[in-house]
Structures are given as structure tokens and as C-alpha cells.
Amino acid sequence: MRSSSRNMLLIAPGLGWLALFMVIPCVLIFMLSFFERGMYGGVDYNFNLENFVRAMDPIYLGILLDSIYIAGTATIVAILLAYPAAYAISLSPRKKQTTYLFFIMLPFWSNYLIRTYAWIVLLNREGLINNGLESIGVISEPLNLLYNEFAVITGLVYNYLPFVVLAIYSSISKLNPEVREASEDLGAPAWKTFLRVTLPLTAPGVAAGAVFVFVLSIGNFITPDLLGGGRLQMVGNLIYDQFLSARDWPFGATLSFILIGIMMMLLFAQAVIVNRGQIEKHEAKEEDVSSMNFSRQSLNEKEKSYA
């Protein structure tokens, strides 16, 4: 058909670009992870699973678990902060909601390095927070707020919070208020309505936000590097070191591959949650269980930030 061949022509250059500069490089990383480091830092093309065994070494496993712990904490804190904020926005007058959301999202579009640096300015020993607390006499000696887990988690929450608010908001705003009213009319107290009705129905938004923060946090390299002061290693830093200092590219590739594996599993889990949410809303016919749910929902959320 003429129109379908024209559509192929339209999408070919863009898809070709993605295939050449994203899919092939990622396949390359996948293959590289089965080889080993050559004598002088190159790659020896000799197929084995050595790197995967090595990744299970307590040192690396420890770093992986630390990363999961930090990313997990950041995710929970971000959701606890974002949920009430998103809820508050959804209760405000319709016309104001887009403006409120726009100002939630605005910092998200600015430079990540600078947003992280701002926390160095606030948290260092001569920083604003320590100075402030000292001048009102709460503390007599500056606290060590920077270069630790606390600083890294704060930085991650700060950087990704806007998207979580957006994701949760988009779920809450789709909620039919009559469902909540029905629950209240049937005599359920407000907290019970929230726990049994509102929260389960907005689970897809929470899941989308959670996966987003977790995935971007666990692969993060800038925040642990700048706010953890090099003392704190996460998977992202480990990959960086393998490529730029240790020059063991195959092992770095293996670690990236594991990272992508974790990401895929979470996206799948999230797709399941989204789907279940939709069955509960009796809209199951429209979409099926696939990673696509995530993409569509997130695209919708990104649209919202402009709307």
C-alpha cells in the first residue's frame, strides 16, 4: 500500500539512527560482557562467564546491595514527599493545577550537576545549614552533613521528586471522585477510604514514579560521586571506574548488563501493576500487559507537564 510505504519512509531515518547509535552499541555491551580484559587493557575475545561470576564476589555484591539500599530509600522518601503534594495539587482549582505542576517540573529540566552542586553549598561544614544552626545556638560544632549516605539520598530525592509528583498526580487526577464518595456514603472513615480505595486505584502512578526514581538512582554516578565524596560507591561509579580507571571494559559491560536486567524486571513488575489497576477500573480491554503501558503512561505524564 502506498501510504504504508510512505510511513516506513518517514520512520526509517529516525529508527535507523536509534538502531545504529543505541541498539547496536547496547548489543555490543551485551557481547562484551562475555569476554575478558586483555593483557594491556584491551579486550580478549574469548567467550566465558567469568565476569558474571566475578560480579557475585562479595565486594561487588556489597556495592550492588548498597546501591539497592540507597536507591530504595530514596524511592520511599520521594514517594512519601510526592504523594501528599500530588494530592494537594489535584484538590486545587482546575485552572491552577497546570501552573502548580509546571513549577514542580521546572527544576527537573535544569542542569543536574548544578542541582546537585547546590546541595554541596547547603550541606558543607561552612554551608548555610550548619551556619544557620550554629548562629541560633542549636549546635556548637558543624555537623557532617556532606559526603555520606544522607547527602546522597537527599540529592537523589531532590533531583527526581518532580517526576514522581507528576506520575502520582496523573493517577490521582484520573480518579473518579464518585468512587471515593461512595465509600464515604457507605460509612467508611476518611482514612479507610484512602487506604482501601484511593491508594489502590492510584497504585499505577506510584509504581511509575517508584520505578523511575529507583532505576535512575541505582545507575547514578554523579550524585554518589559529588555528594558521597568518593567514599560511597554505587554501581554507576563502579562501571565508571571499570571504563576509565581500571580499563576492564568487559567487566564494566557485565555490570551495565546487570543494571539493565534489574531495570527490565522493574519495568515488567510495573507494567503488571499498571495493568491490574486498569482491570480494577474496568478499562482492561484497552491495553495489554507489556512494557508499553509504562511508555504510554509516561508519555502522557510528560505531555501533562506541558499541557
* 59 Cβ contact list (under 8 Å, min separation 6): none
Binding of residue 115 to other proteins (CB under 8 A): yes
Of 57, 50, 56, 53, nearest in space to 32 by CA: 50
55 lines the binding site for other proteins (CB under 8 A): no
Judged by beta carbon, residue 57 or residue 303, the one nearer other proteins is: 303
**Three cell numbers written together for 147:** 559526603
- Amino acid 63 reads I
- 48 lines the binding site for other proteins (CB under 8 A): no
Closest to 112 in 3D by CA, of 238, 229, 217, 244: 217
Q: Is 246 helix (H, G, I), strand (E, B) or coil?
A: coil
Nearer to other proteins, 116 or 277 (CB): 116
Residue 57 lies near other proteins (rule: CB under 8 A): no
Among 50-58, 59-67, 166-174, 286-294, the segment contacting other proteins (CB under 8 A): 286-294
Least distance (Å) between residue 55 CB and other proteins: 15
Subset of 191-250 contacting other proteins (CB under 8 A) = 212, 215-216, 218-222, 226, 236, 239-240, 243, 249
Residue 44 pairs in a beta bridge with 36
Query: Hey, what's the cell of 306?
Result: 506541558
HSE toward the beta carbon, residue 175, CA cutoff 13 A: 25
Close Cβ partners of 159 (under 8 Å, ≥ 6 residues apart): 108, 112, 115, 116, 223
Among 46, 48, 176, 295, binds other proteins (CB under 8 A): 295
Residues 6+ apart with CB under 8 A from 17: none
Q: Does 285 bind other proteins (CB under 8 A)?
A: no
Q: Which of 49, 56, 65, 118 binds other proteins (CB under 8 A)?
A: 118
Q: For the CB of residue 290, give the shortest distance to other proteins in the complex, in Å.
A: 5
Q: Binders of other proteins among 5-24, rule CB under 8 A?
A: 6-11, 13-15, 17-18, 21-24
Q: Which helix (H) or strand (E) holds 262?
A: helix 249-280
Nearer to other proteins by C-beta: 8 or 61? 8
Instruction: Give the one residue of 95, 109, 185, 285 binding other proteins; rule: CB under 8 A.
Output: 109
**Residue from 84, 195, 199, 283 that binds other proteins (CB under 8 A)?**
84
